[in-house]
Amino acid sequence: MFEGHDTTASGLSWVLYNLAKHPEYQERCRAEVDDLLEGRDSDENDLSNLPFITMCIKESLRLYPPVPAVTRRLTQEMTVPGKRVIPPGNICLVSIYGTHHNPHIWPDPEVYNPLRFDPENSKGRSPYAFIPFSAGPRNCIGQNFAMAEMRVATALTVRRFRITPRDSKVRRLPELILRAEGGLWLRTAPPTGANN
Q: How far is CA 135 from CA 97, 121, 141, 145, 172, in A?
A: 14, 21, 10, 16, 24
Q: Assess contact for 32 and 52: CB atoms under 8 A.
A: yes
SS3 143: helix
CA 123, 129, 130, 134 dihedral sign is positive
Distance between CA atoms of residues 161 and 192, nearest Å: 9
**Entry field: residues in the chain:** 196
Query: Where are any strands of DSSP class E within the chain?
Result: 69-73, 78-80, 84-86, 91-95, 162-165, 172-174, 178-180, 186-189
| 140 carries a ligand binding annotation | yes
Binding residues for heme: 140
Binding residues: 140
